[in-house]
């Protein structure tokens, strides 16, 4: 399991579906770690995000092309002692998994809530707008003060 000791927030993005916004890149600057929670859409997104910070990702249901073949469906990462479990669709989460936070995407609906001692965090959709849902990404802090997240809303375009 990868382990990180970092001082800055973790950038969390999901459901880009082949669109990476300039606003997202600006908001992720300064993060020491970036997590993409699937439905990436195009490989250039991972290349660009990896230029900002170490990047870990999981595969989403649309990531079926050859370039995504080696991306895992789930992944566990340890950050400052906090156990983070990454999965695209929360329906695929096994509740027996030992973790402090479940980071997921798929629904495009932002979520930042504690349930039965775990943080369930969905940064929402970071790509094109879907339905009437906002365009968002997230930041997580995992340190001696605790584990906490924030949903950041991005400006909407037409």
Gap between the Cα atoms of 74 and 76, Å rounded: 7
Task: Give the pLDDT band of residue 56 (cuts 50, 70, 90).
Answer: very high
End-to-end CA distance of the chain: 41
pLDDT, tens only, 126-155: 988 777 888 999 999 999 999 999 999 987
Answer whether 142's CB lies under 8 Å from 9's CB. no
- Residue 157's pLDDT is what? 58
Give pTM, 2 decimals: 0.95
DSSP state of 117: T
Question: Greater confidence, 128 or 48?
Answer: 48
Best CA proximity match to 87, nearest among 11, 9, 5, 14: 14
- Residue 138's pLDDT is what? 98
Task: Give the pLDDT band of residue 158 (cuts 50, 70, 90).
Answer: very low
Mean pLDDT computed over 42-67: 97
pLDDT, tens only, 25-39: 999 999 999 999 999
């Amino acid at each position: 399991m990868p382990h990180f000791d970092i001082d800055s927030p973790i950038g969390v993005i999901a459901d880009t579906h082949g669109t990476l916004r300039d606003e997202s890149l600006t908001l992720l600057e300064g993060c020491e770690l970036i997590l993409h929670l699937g439905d990436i859409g195009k490989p250039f997104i991972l290349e660009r995000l990896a230029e900002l910070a170490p990047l870990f990702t999981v595969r989403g249901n649309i990531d079926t092309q050859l370039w995504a073949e080696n991306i895992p469906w789930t992944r566990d990462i340890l950050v400052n002692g906090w156990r983070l479990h990454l999965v695209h669709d929360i329906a695929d989460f096994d509740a027996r998994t030992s973790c402090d936070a479940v980071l997921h995407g798929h629904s495009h609906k932002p979520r930042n809530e504690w349930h039965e001692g775990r943080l369930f965090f969905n940064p929402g959709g970071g790509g094109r707008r879907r339905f009437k849902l906002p365009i968002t990404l997230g930041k997580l802090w995992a340190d001696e003060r605790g584990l906490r997240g924030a949903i950041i809303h991005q400006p909407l375009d037409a």
